[in-house]
């Protein structure tokens, strides 16, 4: 049985915060709100006080600890490498242990745990799409027609697919002899909202002759439940994924979603049991494609005469794991792409899992800054490697009135690859 760390397990790390304030300049929430309570050192101090029993579960504590994207930017700049995002997540788990989950977290985690319910909701959402949503111009997403709990009516949403990605394919798609076998961990975003990213993933693997296993019993990685402090749900989902992913042999697990990559590769690495081996086998799709020599194959393709200027947004869940070179390496070698780096490509887009549900106004302010950097780069497309970031970037660009499109790099790769034999 999987077991997450408790707040007590972070006692040493909490004590390592020397309150120097070096994290202030790098916290997107502080940047948007300019409030000391939003900075990492304030949250670490609150987590410490909670651990020592010096404060109760007052509204202010709950609010301040909910004001964190878990983006990890502070830790990367901290001289003592205090893992604030892990400490805040552990403090949220401690709060829900004492107080229970919030109404939203209860509802969300009930759905996350129940694959059958998720499938039914997706199918209903797909069928009722034109009733529930209105289309935005330029094919840049949907908005709710009617007020709904926890979703701002001005928020851009992706369409929900009537047929989840994992129901479209067999569990094993054979490649060429001598090539690796990968387990594709699709995550919920690709399965229910962006199945085209999954289709592009399969095309890339076919191009390289890679065998793909898509375990039907896989579920959510659990990261939204980490953000909500739902300990048992994270542990239950980790158990389920361990069982599903180890049912067939493979060389590595490949993700095309930064959050799933962090869920399997980082959160699972800290669980007791066989999870560390699973985490060690987890690769981001572009890290895998670079390992397989795809950039050189792309460089051999004839250069397109009609070219598009593309910039890249680093999802926090890849940037903090050191995966910044590989997505750019693929982009730069695409025959139809001219690459331009934007300012602050590595700052958070403002989504932060459940953060943008609880704090949409601050999330929008952070997203507006990012949209400004995208627009200033002059790019026609901002590419990234995370369905969650795609949703947030599109929302931010729509609010900014910008015509820049948002795509997963795999969608651009699909356009570049020759037609399937």
Binding region for ligand SF4 (CB under 6 A): 17-23, 26-29, 40-41, 43-44, 68-74, 78, 80, 82, 84-85
Closest approach of ligand SF4 to the CB of residue 14, in Å: 10
Q: Nearest Cα to 150, choosing from 357, 360, 359? A: 357
Whole-number minimum distance, CB 65 to ligand SF4, in Å?
A: 10
Strands (DSSP E) along 51-147, which ranges?
A: 133-135, 142-144
Residue 148, strand partner residues: 151
**Nearer of residues 310 and 351 to ligand SF4, judged by Cβ:** 351
Residue 82 beta carbon to ligand SF4: minimum distance, rounded to whole angstroms:
4
Compare residues 195 and 229 and give the one whose CB is closer to ligand SF4.
Answer: 229
Kindly tell me which of 68 and 381 has the beta carbon lying closer to ligand SF4.
Answer: 68
Instruction: Tell me how far, at minimum, the Cβ of 406 lies from ligand SF4, in Å.
Output: 22
The smaller minimum CB distance to ligand SF4, of residues 68 and 112, is found at 68
C-alpha to C-alpha distance for 377 and 402, rounded to whole angstroms: 12
Q: How far is the CB of 77 from ligand SF4 (least distance, A)?
A: 6
Q: How far is residue 331's CA from residue 135's CA, in Å, rounded to a whole number?
A: 29
Of 19 and 172, which CB lies nearer to ligand SF4 in the complex structure? 19
Q: How far is the CB of 397 from ligand SF4 (least distance, A)?
A: 22
Closer to ligand SF4 by Cβ: residue 66 or 384: 66
User: Residue 168, SS3?
Assistant: coil
How far apart, in whole angstroms, are the C-alpha atoms of residue 97 and residue 232? Answer: 10
Give the pairing of strands 211-213 and 172-173: antiparallel
Nearest distance, CB of residue 13 and ligand SF4, angstroms: 10
Three-class DSSP category at 405:
strand
Q: What is the largest CA-CA distance in the chain?
A: 66
Residues linked to residue 284 through DSSP beta bridges, in sequence order: 255
What are the DSSP calls for 213-236, one per residue? E--TT----SHHHHHHT-HHHHHH
CB 113 within 8 A of CB 237: yes
The least distance separating ligand SF4 from the CB of residue 80, rounded to whole angstroms, comes to 5
CA distance 271 to 198: 28
Please state, in angstroms and rounded to a whole number, the distance separating the CA atoms of residues 47 and 43. 6
Closer by beta carbon to ligand SF4, 17 or else 349? 17
Which of 65/390 has CB closer to ligand SF4?
A: 65
């Amino acid at each position: 049985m999987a077991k997450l760390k408790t707040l007590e397990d972070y006692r040493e790390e909490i004590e390592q915060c020397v309150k120097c304030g070096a994290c202030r300049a790098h916290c997107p929430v502080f940047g948007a709100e300019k409030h000391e309570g939003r900075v990492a050192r304030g949250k670490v101090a609150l987590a410490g006080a909670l651990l020592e029993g010096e404060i109760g579960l007052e509204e202010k504590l709950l609010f301040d600890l909910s004001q964190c994207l878990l983006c990890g930017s502070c830790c990367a700049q901290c001289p003592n490498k205090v893992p604030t995002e892990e400490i805040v997540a552990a403090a949220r788990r401690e709060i829900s242990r004492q107080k229970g989950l919030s109404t939203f977290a209860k509802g969300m985690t009930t759905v996350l745990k129940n694959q059958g319910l998720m499938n039914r909701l997706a199918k209903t959402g797909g069928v009722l799409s034109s009733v529930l949503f209105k289309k935005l111009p330029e094919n840049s997403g949907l908005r709710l027609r009617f007020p709904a709990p926890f979703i701002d009516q001005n928020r851009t949403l992706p369409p929900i697919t009537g047929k989840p990605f994992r129901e479209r394919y067999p569990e094993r798609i054979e490649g060429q002899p001598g090539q690796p076998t990968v387990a594709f961990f699709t995550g919920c975003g690709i399965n229910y909202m962006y199945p085209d990213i999954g289709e592009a993933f399969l095309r890339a693997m076919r191009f390289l002759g890679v065998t793909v296993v898509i375990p039907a019993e896989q579920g959510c990685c659990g990261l939204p439940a980490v953000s909500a402090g739902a300990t048992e749900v994270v542990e239950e989902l980790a158990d389920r994924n361990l069982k599903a992913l180890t049912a067939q042999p493979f060389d590595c697990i490949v993700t095309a979603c930064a959050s799933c990559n962090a869920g399997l590769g980082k959160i699972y690495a800290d669980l007791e049991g066989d999870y560390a081996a699973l985490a060690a086998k987890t690769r981001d799709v572009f890290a895998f494609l670079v390992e397989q020599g795809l950039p050189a194959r792309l460089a051999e393709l004839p250069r397109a005469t009609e070219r598009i200027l593309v910039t890249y947004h680093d999802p926090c869940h890849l940037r903090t794991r050191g995966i910044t070179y590989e997505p750019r390496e693929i982009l730069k070698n695409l025959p139809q792409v001219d690459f331009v780096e934007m300012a602050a490509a590595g700052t958070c887009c403002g989504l932060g899992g459940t953060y943008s549900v609880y704090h949409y106004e601050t999330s929008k302010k952070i997203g507006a800054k990012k949209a400004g950097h995208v627009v200033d780069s002059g790019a026609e497309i901002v590419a990234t490697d995370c369905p969650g970031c795609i949703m947030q970037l599109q929302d931010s660009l729509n609010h900014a009135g910008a015509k820049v499109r948002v795509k997963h790099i795999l969608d651009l790769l699909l356009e570049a690859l020759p037609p399937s034999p």
